[in-house]
Amino acid sequence: MAILRFLSISLLCFFLLAPVLVQNISSVEKPKVLMVMDNSQSMLANRDSNYYRTEFLNQWYKTTQLLGTDYEVQFLNLGNAISLSDSSSFTQKKTNISQLFDYVNNTYDRQNVGAVMLASDGIYNRGSNPLYKELNQHALFYAIGTGDTVLKKDGMIKDVNANAIAYLNNQFPLEINLAAYACAGSLATLTLSSDGKVIHSEQVNINQAEFFKNVLVNVEADQPGTKHIVITLSSIPGEASLMNNRKDVFIDVIDGREKILLAYFGPHPDIGAIKDAIQSNQNYEVVAIQASLLKLSELNKYNVAILHQLPAKGYNTKDLVTQLRNFKIPIWCIVGKQTAVEQLPLISSIARIDRNQGRYNESQALWNEAFNTFTIDDITKTTILSFPPLQVPYGVFAASDNAEIMAFQKIGAVNTKAPIWAFSNQNGEKTAMLFGEGFWRWRLIDFVENESHLATNELVSKTIQYLAVKEDKRKFRVYPTKHVYEEDEQIRFIAELYNASYESVNDADVKLSLTNSENKTYNYTFSKSGKSYQLEVGIMPPGSYQFNAQAENVPDKINGKIIITPLQTELVNTRADFGLLRDLSRKHKGNFYEARELSKAVEDLKKNAAVTSVSYNEKRLDELINVKWIFFLLVILIAAEWFIRKYEGGY
C-alpha cells in the first residue's frame, strides 16, 4: 500500500511539472490522378457517338481498378463549369478548357496531384486559350483525344456580329460569317426574317472545299422594343448537321440616346476614365467640355450633368447649378483637390463637408450591404474591395444622415460611416456624389483583376441610369434583371411595392406567372428581401415568355416579355482539335493518346516515376498529461490502495 501511494503521489507531482511528449509522425500521401471528362454536346456529334456513350465511358470509369490502391483517383466533368462526378451525360452546351487549370491550381493547392488526364475533342468555345495556362502543382497532363478529325460535309452559320442596341428609324448592320466544308459545287440560300416576314434573302455559291464568306446586311430598326431576327442557311444534301444552320439574334431598339454633359474645371486623368466608362454603354452619348466654355442657355439639351471638381475657385458655379436645376437636370458631382469644398452645398445639402481645413485622406471604398437604390453584380462588389484609395476631403460629411450611401470610406484599417459614393433625391432633384479623385486607378485595377472594365463600367453606368431615369410614380413595379437570356442563365426578377407615402414595403405577397409560346404557364411567388422582393426562376427552355405579376390587394398588374435564346455553340464546330491536345500534353510533360488507347495511357502513367507517393514527417509536441492511459494508471493505483485497505480492514 505504501508503494501504491508512493507511485500515485509521485506521478501526480511529476505531472505538476507539465512534461511534454515529442512525437515523430510519418504519413504517406498517395498521388492524386484527376480523370476529367469533357461533358459537352460536341463529344457525341460524330459517327462514333455510340462508342463514346457506352464502351469508352465504361472503360473510363474502370481506371480506378486498373490503377489499383497506390493512387487516389477522382473523376470530374468539364463543361461550362467543373464538378466532381462519376457519370457523364454529354449535355453541357459550353466548353471552357482553360478553367480546368485554374480549378486544379486552386482546389488542389499543396496536394500531391500526380497527373491530370483529360478526355476531350479539344473544342472549346468559352474562356481563353488553355495553352496560356499553367499547372502550379507540376502535375503531368495526359490528353485522350475523342471525336473525329475528318472534315465532314457541313454548311453552317459560324458567327453573327451585331450591336446589342439600335436606334429607332435607323439602319443597323449584321455581319454574318458563313462556312462550309466538303460542299464544293453546292448552292445554299441565306435568309433573314423577323416577325414571320423575310427581310433579306440571297443565294450563296459554295465553290471551295473549305469555304468562308462574310455577308453584311443592313436591317431597318422600324419599331421600339426587342427585335428578333432569325438567320437561316438552307440545308445541303448529305451535310452532317442541321443544328448550325440557324442563328437567332436579338436587338434592343430604343428611341434615342441619353446625352451626358461632362463639365470639368481643368485636365485630369479621371475625365478620360469616366468618359470611357460612360461610352461603354451605347445608350449614352457623352460631351466633355471645360466649364469656362459652357453656354448656360444650351444646357437643356442634356439629360445628366457631371461636374468634375466643380464648384471650383475662380469659376461661377452658382449660375451653372441654378440653370441645371431650372432645367431639372440631375447632377453627378465628383470631388477632387481642385474643388472648392466650402461651396459644395450649392450642389446639394448632402454634399456639405464641415471642418475640412484643406486636408485630404486616402480612403478605400467599402460596400454598403444595406444599399438598395439599385442592384450591383456580386463580382463588382468584391472587386471594389481591391480598388486603390481615392483622395477624399477630410471633414464631417452631411451625407451620412440623409443620403443613400453606396460605399463608405475605409481609411487604413478603420471602417467609417462617411460616404465615398452617395445618392439623394430631394424634392425631385437627383444628385450623385463621388467624394474623391483617382477613379482612373480603379479602371486599371479593374482590368488587372477581371481582364475587363466590367466593374467600373457598371458603377458608372448604374449611376448615370439612376440619374437619367424618369421618376416612376407607380406603387407596384416588377422587372427582370435582363430581357434576353441564354438558356443556361439563371432568370431573376425584382419587385418593388410602395405605400401611399411612397415608402418601400413588402407586407403583401407578390405572385408572377410565366407563359411560353405553347400557352403553358408556370406560377411563382416572390421571396421577401429587405424591403423589396426577389424571385429566382432558375433555368428555362429556350423561347419567348410573357410574364404577369400582381401583388396581393393591389389593383395594378405588370406585364412584360423575356426571351431565352438557345445555345448552339457546341454544334457549330464539331471537328476535333487533336493539335491543341497534343500541345497541352507536350507542354506539361505528358502524352497524347487516342480514345481507343486509354488502357495504354493508364499503363504509361503507372510506369511514370514522377507520379509517386509523398512522405511527410511531422514533429508534434503534446503535454504528457493528455495521454489517456496515464489517467487510467492513476485511477488503478489509487483504487487498488483503497480496495486493499478496505479489504484488510485498515482505515
Q: Give me the residue spans of the domains in the chain.
A: 2-27+617-648, 31-149+575-612, 154-254, 258-468, 476-565
Query: What pLDDT sits at residue 510?
Result: 94
Q: What is the pLDDT of residues 205-251, one digit of tens each?
A: 999 988 999 999 999 988 887 788 999 999 999 887 787 898 888 88
Residue pair 467/332 in contact (Cβ under 8 Å)? The answer is yes
Across the chain, mean pLDDT equals 88
| Structure-block grid coordinates of residue 606 | 503507372
Superfamily for domain range 258-468: Class I glutamine amidotransferase (GATase) domain (3.40.50.880)
Could you tell me the pTM of the whole model? 0.55
| Structure-block grid coordinates of residue 578 | 487533336
Average pLDDT over residues 1-30: 80
Q: What is the pLDDT of residues 91-136, one digit of tens each?
A: 888 899 999 999 999 999 889 999 999 999 999 988 889 999 998 7
Average pLDDT over residues 246-268: 85
State the Cα–Cα distance between residues 378 and 363, nearest whole angstrom: 21
Query: What pLDDT sits at residue 418?
Result: 92
What CATH fold (topology level) applies to the domain 31-149+575-612? Rossmann fold (3.40.50)
- Class of domain 476-565 as given by CATH: mainly beta
Strands 32-38 and 20-29: unpaired
Q: What is the pLDDT of residues 308-347, one digit of tens each?
A: 999 998 888 899 999 999 999 999 999 999 999 999 999 9
Residue pair 411/363 in contact (Cβ under 8 Å)? The answer is yes
Residue 499 clears pLDDT 80, i.e. is over it: yes
State the Cα–Cα distance between residues 598 and 578, nearest whole angstrom: 15
Q: What is the pLDDT of residues 139-170, one digit of tens each?
A: 899 999 999 888 788 898 988 998 877 877 78
- Report whether CATH 2.60.40.1120 matches the domain 154-254: no
State the Cα–Cα distance between residues 458 and 461, nearest whole angstrom: 5
Residue pair 83/76 in contact (Cβ under 8 Å)? The answer is yes
Residue 391 clears pLDDT 60, i.e. is over it: yes
The yes-or-no answer to whether 154-254 and 476-565 have a common fold is yes
What lies within 8 Å, CB to CB, of 32 at 6+ separation is 71, 72, 73, 74, 108, 111, 112, 113, 114
